[in-house]
Chains A and B, each alone.
Chain A
């Protein structure tokens, strides 16, 4: 009798943790864990142009076909780069390494420091500006309708 009582109480002790472990206490919280990350950055052409002018890439990366020095790309070459490579190459590898070279060019030094302080979104805009350099742009000039006589 005693043995049976002990067996029963032990088995009930085992069942309770089993039942507790089978329940999912966080079930009602799963929705809050799956939080969506929304990218709020919008590439705005006008902002990109403004950033491009401010940084003034073409002061060093010449618009001419010929490089100024063997290690500094032309603007066309820079624009030809893949966007991901451009991001690493322009913002990390080259300019940080070369900052000391510009100690006698305060405006350039300031511009390069500005590159480092750009937000992720501004960097995207700057990359857009650089990529746009090589893209053909079609400009449409319009006039009021009455200027062309119908034929």
Chain B
């Protein structure tokens, strides 16, 4: 049992709210093995994703609540749908004991039918942030321009932290989901379809679709700890969020403009 799982079990026993970007209370696994075919695991259950929105603007963000509500709905809708992970090397699933046996391994096709519950919480202080949280910092401005376009979001890919400019978020409500999906491992969409894709490099009102491949990639990232997630109470391991956010915001090359007194 990892230290994170130990903390998670303790928090659960004391009926405290679980902290972390990815939390769940055991996933259901069903093994199907038809002779001559690859054994298949069907994974079902609820997984909660929590994103902490850190408001760091100078003049306040009056539309923040409605933007957060829209973002929550948008992310939850995008994460709906079944995906498959082929030939995944995992601990052996013991059908009788209904759990994975970490001492032996096998290869499975894994079918995910996960119900993602998306929660977005506003925070005002750095102390409200944990090391294993996902964070979206809301800023006044990101100070560099390229090709006569403004920078409206900047994210350190996979695990974050993510940032958006408040004024641009008001104009393009989808950009927060775009930034969050970078933290789940997605890159920018390329090619002809990128003008309609949520993951296109330039934001627009029509940019709000994701492909099946992108959904599969996010599922693969979110379910990377499947064995532990199926074994009772789970919170994701540390992402070093607090330290990474502090470094990211204080890096002068990023050109962030925000209310520095709120970061303390």
Contact = CB atoms under 8 A, between A and B. Distances in A.
Given A143-B152, A148-B150, A108 B107 contact: yes
B190 interface: yes
Interface string B192-207: 0000000001110000
B155 to A, nearest CB: 5
B224 A62 contact: yes
Interface string B61-103: 0000000000000000000000001111111000000000000
Interface in B18-64: 38
A58 to B, nearest CB: 7
Contacts, number: 122
A4 interface: no
A48 B90 CA distance: 26
Given A141-B178, A145-B150, A147-B171, A62 B89 contact: yes
Interface in A31-73: 46, 49, 53, 56, 58-60, 62-66, 68-69, 72
B38 A105 contact: yes
SS of B interface (majority): mixed
B150 A142 contact: yes
A142 B202 contact: yes
A141 B220 contact: no
B146 A59 contact: no
The interface size bin for chain A is 35 or more
B113 interface: no
Contacts of A59: 85-89
Contact of A142 (B88, B146, B228): B146
A23 interface: no
B149 A139 contact: no
B89 A60 contact: yes
Contacts of B221: 63
A64 B5 CA distance: 14
A145 to B, nearest CB: 6
B86 A138 contact: no
Interface in B162-198: 165, 167-168, 171-172, 175, 178-179, 182, 187-188, 190
Interface of B: 2, 38, 85-91, 105, 107, 141, 145-158, 165, 167-168, 171-172, 175, 178-179, 182, 187-188, 190, 201-203, 213, 220-221, 224-225, 227-228, 237
Interface of A: 46, 49, 53, 56, 58-60, 62-66, 68-69, 72, 102, 104-108, 111, 136-145, 147-149, 151
10 contacts: A65-B237, A136-B157, A137-B187, A138-B155, A138-B157, A140-B153, A141-B203, A145-B145, A147-B171, A148-B168
4 closest A-B pairs by beta carbon, nearest first, are: A141-B153, A137-B157, A142-B149, A63-B224
Given A66-B2, A68-B227, 9 more contacts: A59-B86, A68-B91, A107-B86, A107-B87, A138-B155, A138-B156, A139-B156, A140-B201, A147-B167
